[in-house]
Structure 1
């Protein structure tokens, strides 16, 4: 039987500032494309999900970040946020469980509120400095979305959502993901927030030559709403 053609998709992580930058560009500049994509979360699994991945022979490309890379990313975030007129926080993640927020996304998605959830969680993390690995934070965001608090606060305890999350991570493995944000269109793959425009060109069926010629034109970036928070410390910069 012929293989089923997969839809264009993007992999994002709620812990990743570069995924956040890509999300802002994607939804504010190309909302019609954002609405046409499959949104798939990616995160560092906890021991339970890791055991499921081990049993399936799935090895995710997760390595410990070096101190030098961590400091580089802090500098990079300062440059990018300044260029975009955006003030952001960089929270410290102490023994985080990323299932809490990423499985909550799947719960919100099931209610037709996936993009709204992502927007609220990115704002909470990168502009309000809140802990998105705290179930209480998920409960508060559920209230903002008009959902019962427990529907998101307890998502990590739901076996069905756990299985859906496992399937998301297996999908990332099958697609050859090695970092986020990661965009896939047919056989073409695009890694990084700065590869969004070439991905958009592929999605729209346009030749990429004119896009590649000036893909670093930051003057075209939108200016995002500022938050009354200062840049913080290292942590969660994958």
Structure 2
């Protein structure tokens, strides 16, 4: 008797516009996603976190993005948002401290508020161009979402949340994750926004609730497995490994 794979996993980062778009597409077509899929954050660690990861033998890989790649991503994300009928406000990251939003999300998850904070931070960063790595901005975002900002903005100073964050980054290393968004279900792995369709196909074919295929064409539905989403098309945003 074969054993079902563990819960499907989605790796995301607030830095990545492709993570933002992938989650918008996923949750619009598959509202059960936050309950059915394990969301795991990853980010470029600050110096204390980086040193601890190296001590654990789980170094964080990073290759800087070229100017040509950056310009391509700007153009590509503009195309993708236009086809979805949404506007993007490109943020300018100057010495960002990525622990601030990602550890805040981990703190929100402990409080059962991760879904609300996730949506609020996506909107603040990619729809308003806000610097969500600033704790003052994060406090304001949390308050606007109806959340208590104190435990969220203070997450970077919480040893327990810090330890949880390090475990997340160590898991990135152990899972051989090299880009985002990254989806995995058992032995099946999918990298990038344009692989969302394959991830949902595999996951729903082995136990996830059906997702809305988003089409009214009966013939098309007959030729698609339950849970298959319309292809999105795109690549990853620059993160660890310089993947794009």
- Short-chain TM bin: 0.7 to 0.9
- For the 8 Å contact 1:33–1:200, the answer to whether it is kept is no
- Superposed CA deviations along residues 100-150 of structure 1, whole A, max 9, x for unmatched, are 000000011111011111100000000011110000122122223443322
Structure 1 distance, partners of 2:34, 2:190, is 15
Structure 2 distance, partners of 1:35, 1:19, is 18
Task: Give the structure 2 partner of residue 100 of structure 1.
Answer: 100
Is 1:88 aligned to 2:56, yes or no?
no
- Superposed CA deviations along residues 14-67 of structure 1, whole A, max 9, x for unmatched, are 111000001101111111233211111010000011011010111223211111
Per the normalisation by structure 2, the TM-score is 0.82
Aligned length: 216
Structure 1 distance, partners of 2:35, 2:197, is 16
Task: Give the structure 1 partner of residue 76 of structure 2.
Answer: 76
Shift of 1:6: 3.5
**Structure 1: stretches of 5+ with no match in the other structure:** 219-235
Structure 1 distance, partners of 2:91, 2:159, is 29
Q: Which runs of 4+ in 1 moved over 6 A?
A: none
Task: Give the structure 1 partner of residue 117 of structure 2.
Answer: 117
- CA RMSD, aligned part only? 2.4
**Structure 2: stretches of 5+ with no match in the other structure:** 207-222, 240-244
Task: Give the structure 1 partner of residue 34 of structure 2.
Answer: 34
- For the 8 Å contact 1:194–1:215, the answer to whether it is kept is no
- For the 8 Å contact 1:40–1:168, the answer to whether it is kept is yes
Is 1:160 aligned to 2:160, yes or no?
yes
Per the normalisation by structure 1, the TM-score is 0.84
Q: Secondary structure at the match of 2:183?
A: strand
Q: Secondary structure at the match of 1:35?
A: helix
